[in-house]
Amino acid sequence: MTDDAAPLPSLDELLPSARVVALPLVTRFRGIDVREAMLFEGPEGWTEFSPFAEYDDEEASAWLAGAIDYGWNAPPPALRDRIAVNATVPAVDPDSVRAVLARFPGCRTAKVKVAGGDETLAADVARVRAVREALGPEGRIRIDANGGWNVDEAEHAIHALAPFDLEYVEQPCATIDQLAEISLRTKYMGIPIAADESVRRSGDPLAVAEFAAADILVIKAQPLGGIRRALRIIAAAGLPVVVSSALDTSVGLAMGAQLAASVPDLEYDCGLGTASLLAADVTRDPLVPVGGSIEVRRVHPDPERLDRYAADAERTDWWIERLARVHAVLEDAAATTAAPVD
């Protein structure tokens, strides 16, 4: 892929269309009940900038680069027009599992959150058991620990959850060294290890592949700096990938769907059905699963919904100030790259 990206737009080009929304969730997820995001419109269409609030400006700069890439650069050719997606089951009690899965019609794969801060392994086992009972023997179950276990805890938990026929275990431990160790300890079980945070929050996203720390990469367009950069990482890593979301609005999910549509070999259902976790969205035609898949298309926010779910003045100011700081990080990086070498 040629690197013919449009130049970095100025802050003055981003601000006129910028809108900040606060969308309620159906179920508490990642410790939040409301998902905030900033949307703005580029020459190619609407795009999304939505790093989580706790991320610093340096990490958030990749998210802004990804948003700009999607809004200012023509997308690569799509190889498919629909993307099969998984259901996502938050840390709910077992009795709530069927209601969660019902929000993902046609999905035969479920990603189950485990290793939550207040959750016990017994609660995780009960939740995964409920998912297996709901999906039946042909359904696929993957679990996501978000790096919440140390190596010994991960080994114990994988043993406890293995009877439910796991497709893979996502980010069982926090660091690449720990992933490599747990991969060795559990290899005889035949359950693949997937890396998420170790790819997108590492200074070297290819380190996971280089150290054989995982069998699968979970790829997210926005935090990796955009579709074009994510495709380069996928090509260089040489591992199977799952394209996933970061609890985006349908605008951000459209970016992920475009990335998934451009991946040459897509073996796994993708984590792009998460609009079903939102109690409200920015469009009247959200990218929710139909028959287990979502469309590959641009999403145009509805003005009435942008108004209805607009963040309050204090939060809007917070996002605008954040945008200015993060944009300055990108400007500094661009200037450093362009500087002549003595």
CATH number at residue 64: 3.30.390.10
Q: What is the CATH number of the domain that holds 293?
A: 3.20.20.120
Q: What is the pLDDT of residues 264-320, one digit of tens each?
A: 999 999 999 999 999 999 999 999 999 999 999 999 999 999 999 999 999 999 999
* Alpha helices (H) along 79-217: 97-101, 121-135, 151-161, 176-186, 197-200, 207-210
Half-sphere exposure of 52 (CA within 13 A, CB side): 12
Residues 170 and 244 in one domain: yes
Q: Is 6 a domain residue? A: no
Q: What gap in Å lies between CA 211 and CA 206, rounded to an integer? A: 9
Q: What gap in Å lies between CA 111 and CA 121, rounded to an integer? A: 16
Residues 316 and 278 in one domain: no
Residues 25 and 120 in one domain: no
Query: Are the C-beta atoms of 110 and 86 separated by less than 8 Å?
Result: yes
95 in a known ligand binding site: no
Query: Are the C-beta atoms of 234 and 49 separated by less than 8 Å?
Result: no
Domain housing 151 = 82-302
- Residue 112 is predicted with a pLDDT of 98
Q: Is 2 a domain residue? A: no
State what percent of residues in the chain have pLDDT above 90: 90
177 in a known ligand binding site: no
Residues 109 and 151 in one domain: yes
| pTM assigned to the model | 0.94
Backbone angles phi, psi at 104, to 5 degrees: -125, 65
Q: What gap in Å lies between CA 48 and CA 298, rounded to an integer? A: 12
Q: What is the pLDDT of residues 81-110, one digit of tens each?
A: 999 999 999 999 999 999 999 999 999 999
Q: Is 4 a domain residue? A: no
Q: What gap in Å lies between CA 278 and CA 325, rounded to an integer? A: 28
196 in a known ligand binding site: yes
Query: Are the C-beta atoms of 40 and 46 separated by less than 8 Å?
Result: yes
Average pLDDT over residues 253-271: 97
Q: Active-site residue numbers?
A: 113, 220
